[in-house]
Amino acid sequence: MKILELTYTYQLFYTILTLIVLLVINIILKKTAKRIGDKGEIHITRIRLMFRYINILIVFIAIFLLAIVWGMDLGDLALIFSSVFAVIGVALFAIWSILSNITSGIIMFFNFPYKIGDKIRIHDKDMPIEALIEDIKAFHLHLRTDDGELITYPNNLILQKAVSLVQKDVFLDEGKNAL
C-alpha cells in the first residue's frame, strides 16, 4: 500500500488540486450567471438551464485535465477527443436545428429584451403572431395567443424575426388590477 501511495503521490495531489480549482471555477461561473440573471430579471428556470451548460463544460474540462494528470499522452488524448467530436459533429449536423436552438437559447439568456409575461408581436409575413410569452425553454418559447392557443416558437427563429413589445409584463399588470 505504501508503494502504491508513493508511486501515485503526484497524480493524487494534482487530481485533488484540479478538482478543487474546477469546483471554484464552477462556483464562480454559476454566481456570475445568477448575477446576470438577477440583473436582467431572467426567470429562474432559464438560470438553471445555464447551470446545466456550465456543469457540462466543467465535466469536459475535468476529463481532459485528469487524463493529462494521470499520464495519458497528448497525442492519444487528441485522437480520442477528435474522434468523439467527429461523431458528435456528424450527429449534430444531421440535427443541426437542435444545436442552433440551444445556441439561440444561450444567446437569449444573455441578450433578450423580452421576459416571461411580456406580450410580443412577431413580424412574420407568412404568419404574424401576437402572443404572451409563457415560458422560455432551451429549444423554444411557449407563446399564448389571445384565443388561448399555445404556440411553441423555435429560439433560432425568434432571433431572426423582427419582434416588437406590445405590453410589458402582462402578469404584473393583472396583479395591479386585482388590487
Residue 177: the pLDDT is 45
Sequence spans of domains, the chain: 2-94, 114-178
Q: What does residue 136 show for φ and ψ, rounded to 5 degrees?
A: -120, 110
Residue 51: the pLDDT is 92
DSSP 131: E
Residue 174: the pLDDT is 52
Whether residue 101 contacts residue 156, with contact meaning beta carbons closer than 8 Å, is answered with yes
Residue 38: the pLDDT is 87
pTM, to two decimals: 0.56
114-178: CATH class: mainly beta
* 93: amino acid identity, one letter: F
* 76: amino acid identity, one letter: D
Per-residue pLDDT of the chain (179 residues; tens, 9 = 90+): 566 666 778 888 899 999 999 999 999 999 999 998 888 888 888 888 889 989 999 998 998 889 888 888 878 878 887 888 788 777 766 677 777 888 888 888 888 788 888 999 999 888 899 999 998 888 889 999 999 999 999 988 888 888 998 888 766 555 444 43
- What tens digit of pLDDT does each residue of 103-112 get? 888 888 888 7
Residues 6+ apart with CB under 8 A from 100: 156
Residue 178: the pLDDT is 42
- What tens digit of pLDDT does each residue of 58-100 get? 998 998 889 888 888 878 878 887 888 788 777 766 677 777 8
